[in-house]
Amino acid sequence: MEFAELIKTATVESVLLSGAGLPPVRGTLCITSHHLLLSSRPGGDGAPGTVELWLLIRNVDAVEKRLAGSSGTITLRCKDLKVLQLEIPGMEECLNVASSIEALSSVDSVMMMYPFFYRPQDLRLEAGWHLFPLEQYYQQIATQTSQWRLSGVNRDFAACPTYPPAVIVPAAVDDEALRKAARFRQGGRFPVLSYYHQKNGTVMLRSSQPLTGPNRKRCREDELLLGTVLDEGERGFIIDTRSAQAAKQARMTGGGTEPKSSYPRWKRLHRPLERGRPLQESFIKLVDACNDTSLTMDRWLSRLESCRWLSHVKAALSTACLAAQCLDREEACVLVHGAEGTDTTLLVTALAQLILDPGCRTLAGFQGLLEREWIEAGHPFHLRCARSAYSHARLKQEAPLFLLFLDCVWQLGRQFPFSLEFGERLLLTLFDNAYASSYGTFLGNNEKERCLCKVKESTHSLWAWLNQPEEKRKYLNPLYSRNALVIWPSVEPQSIQLWQGLFFRWIRSSKYLDEAWAEIQRLVENDDTSVEESAGNRRSQSLSDTAAQTENER
């Protein structure tokens, strides 16, 4: 396929661009294989154009056209929730532009995505791809205990197509048993270690549902695997992210959950979390409500309620807290799974780690967490983030689980303003890049697909870009200070807020809030300079000690 075939009109003069809170501007619209550009020429013909718009076409979620007389208006609704209007002179041009954008934005082949073509000069292609190897994570655990081993059973993705080549499993269970256990779990996602809680040596495992089916099948290897995790006399918790009834019903389609009789030392807790289509619909409804200018104050809260989004945030945080509580307070091991083990499961395990482990709350640690618990763990980004909240296309497998995770992280950051090293801006950038990106980090659905497409060889990593010193600065939280404690958030409705920075990013002006952040930055930086200037100061010393410490941990 050639992109050129999809572009019916490459340039249109005198297009009026408006939207996203900016004053309207007229200029020349260009359509390239991956971008929509608009450049204005304030200085007449000779002057170089100013680029007013540089939009990744993959970011376009919906194209709406309205014709009036000889001109037309195209409304572009983007996956990052921005809405743009293009007023195009000429009916035919308008139709051509619209259908070109539609065609280009629906290209679904991973290999045709922009990251495969993007070659920024100041980044090396291989940079950022191997920052957080699982081997390194395993080494940390290995210094504490010998009960776990790094297994290459999935080296060729044979045991589980959605797992990475390396997984951490109980040392006492051999690869053959793992293969058998994999056959007893949906999609081959046998229980693997997700998190080792250094404080007391408990672990969090994740998997998919067991394939017990209507005949209550059992699997000796699976039972053995889970059995070896617990020491003599210990009990563990299985957190099933489905309701007890849904788990029971899953038996009819070959799934199910761990019966008490076969896993006597594991206590099952059901915490239903929304996923799939209902979650996507919740997202769509919320964005719809946020954009509804006719809403009045007396209807706003019930409208917000009917979207259910905040309920999902509350449920996700509560479940993550439950998992964290089992590990930290009950000193018990935890296995988390739902059905496929690629969505709500990862939401819970990733959040629980953020709550428990200060190492995940640094910028680097958070990237590592995303890499381990979302990307390598096989969250199907390509399917889940194919469309955002505006698309009119028939929903397939879209679901904003990653956004829900980012929202929960934002809630944590709001409740613990000093405890995350990164700020809201990073979360927004991650959201944008998960849905449309110049980088390959969120491409594909799992490591196997990324391997086949040679993503790591042919695209740039988002982390490489983010971690450039100049770029990195923008994402840091000026108030951060390493906090070694568990951060237990409040999950009371009074404590959970709508994430305005995301859902109203293009609707409200954030000028005054941005000014406040600039002021905070100024205060903290002023302080740091003064501290540095004042020689022999203990605080500056101890601060640099922390920095060194954090550095070592990386």
Partner 1 sequence: MEHIRMPKVENVRLLDRVSSRKATLGTLYLTATHVIFVENASETRKETWVLHSQISSIEKQATTATGCHPLLIRCKNFQVIQLIIPQERDCHDVYISLIRLARPVKYEELYCFSFNPKLDKEEQERGWKLVDLNEEYNRMGIPNNYWQISDVNRDYGVCDSYPTEVYVPKSATAHIIVGSSKFRSRRRFPALSYYCKDNNASICRSSQPLSGFSARCLEDELMLQAIRKTNPESDFLYVVDTRPKLNAMANRAAGKGYENEDNYSNIKFQFIGIENIHVMRSSLQKMLEVCELKSPSMSDFLWGLENSGWLKHIKAIMDAGIFIAKAVAEEGVSVLVHCSDGWDRTAQVCSVASLLLDPYYRTMKGFMVLIEKDWVSFGHKFNHRYGNLDGDPKEISPVIDQFIECVWQLMEQFPCAFEFNERFLIHVQHHIYSCQFGNFLCNSQKERQELKIQERTYSLWAHLWKNRADYLNPLYRLDHSQTQGTLRPQIAPCIFLYKFWSGMYNRFEKGMHPRQSVTDYLMAVKEETQQLEEELEVLGERLASLQKVQLNDNEVKSKQQDQNKELGRSTSNISLANTPQEYNNNLKSFPSRSPSQGDEEDSALILTQDNLKSSDPDLSANSDQESGVEDLSCRSPSSGGCLPSEDSGKDSDEAVFLTI
| Residue 300 binds partner 1 (CB under 8 A) | yes
| Residue 304 binds partner 1 (CB under 8 A) | yes
| Residue 430 binds partner 1 (CB under 8 A) | no
Instruction: Round to whole Å and give the CA distance between 442 and 523.
Output: 36
Subset of 216-275 contacting partner 1 (CB under 8 A):
237, 267, 269
| Residue 482 binds partner 1 (CB under 8 A) | yes
Which letter, b or e, does each residue of 200-226 get, where b requires 16 or more Cβ atoms within 10 Å of its Cβ? eebbbbbbbbbbbeeeeeebebbbbbb
Instruction: Write the DSSP assignment of 233-291 as a string of letters.
Output: T--EEEEESS-HHHHHHGGGGT-----TTTSTTEEEEE-----HHHHHHHHHHHHHHHH
Within the chain, how many helices (H) and strands (E) appear? Answer: 21, 14
- Looking at the Cβ atoms of 31 and 491, the one nearer to partner 1 is 491
Query: Of 489, 502, 505, 506, which one interacts with partner 1 (CB under 8 A)?
Result: 489
Longest dimension (CA), the chain: 82
Query: Of 176, 292, 471, 553, which one interacts with partner 1 (CB under 8 A)?
Result: 292
- Looking at the Cβ atoms of 123 and 507, the one nearer to partner 1 is 507
- Looking at the Cβ atoms of 142 and 543, the one nearer to partner 1 is 543
**Shortest distance in whole angstroms from residue 362 CB to partner 1:** 14
Query: Of 130, 490, 553, 554, which one interacts with partner 1 (CB under 8 A)?
Result: 490
Q: Given the rule CB under 8 A, which of 182-190, 434-442, 453-461, 525-533 is the region that contacts partner 1?
A: 525-533
- Looking at the Cβ atoms of 109 and 509, the one nearer to partner 1 is 509
Instruction: Round to whole Å and give the CA distance between 98 and 84.
Output: 13
3-state secondary structure 492-542: CHHHCCCCHHHHCCCCCCCHHHHHHHHHHHHHHHHHHHHHHHCCCCHHHHH
Q: Given the rule CB under 8 A, which of 95-103, 127-135, 434-442, 490-498 is the region that contacts partner 1?
A: 490-498
Query: What's the gap between Cα 487 and its chain centre?
Result: 20
Instruction: Round to whole Å and give the CA distance between 57 and 76.
Output: 10
Strands (E), 316-384: 334-337
Subset of 163-222 contacting partner 1 (CB under 8 A):
none
Q: Given the rule CB under 8 A, which of 57-65, 390-398, 433-441, 540-548 is the region that contacts partner 1?
A: 540-548
Subset of 89-128 contacting partner 1 (CB under 8 A):
none
Subset of 313-352 contacting partner 1 (CB under 8 A):
314, 318, 321-322, 325-326, 329-330
Output DSSP code: residue 167: E
Which letter, b or e, does each residue of 228-251 get, where b requires 16 or more Cβ atoms within 10 Å of its Cβ? ebbeeeeebbbbbbbeeebbeebb
Instruction: Round to whole Å and give the CA distance between 133 and 166.
Output: 9
Subset of 405-424 contacting partner 1 (CB under 8 A):
414-419
| Residue 455 binds partner 1 (CB under 8 A) | no
| Residue 476 binds partner 1 (CB under 8 A) | no
| Residue 24 binds partner 1 (CB under 8 A) | no
| Residue 301 binds partner 1 (CB under 8 A) | yes
| Residue 552 binds partner 1 (CB under 8 A) | no
Instruction: Round to whole Å and give the CA distance between 371 and 422.
Output: 16
Q: Which candidate, 70, 98, 99, places its Cα nearest to that of 84?
A: 98
Count of residues touching partner 1 (by CB under 8 A): 82
| Residue 513 binds partner 1 (CB under 8 A) | yes
Query: Of 136, 140, 468, 546, which one interacts with partner 1 (CB under 8 A)?
Result: 546
One character per residue 38-57, x = contact with partner 1 (rule: CB under 8 A): --------------------
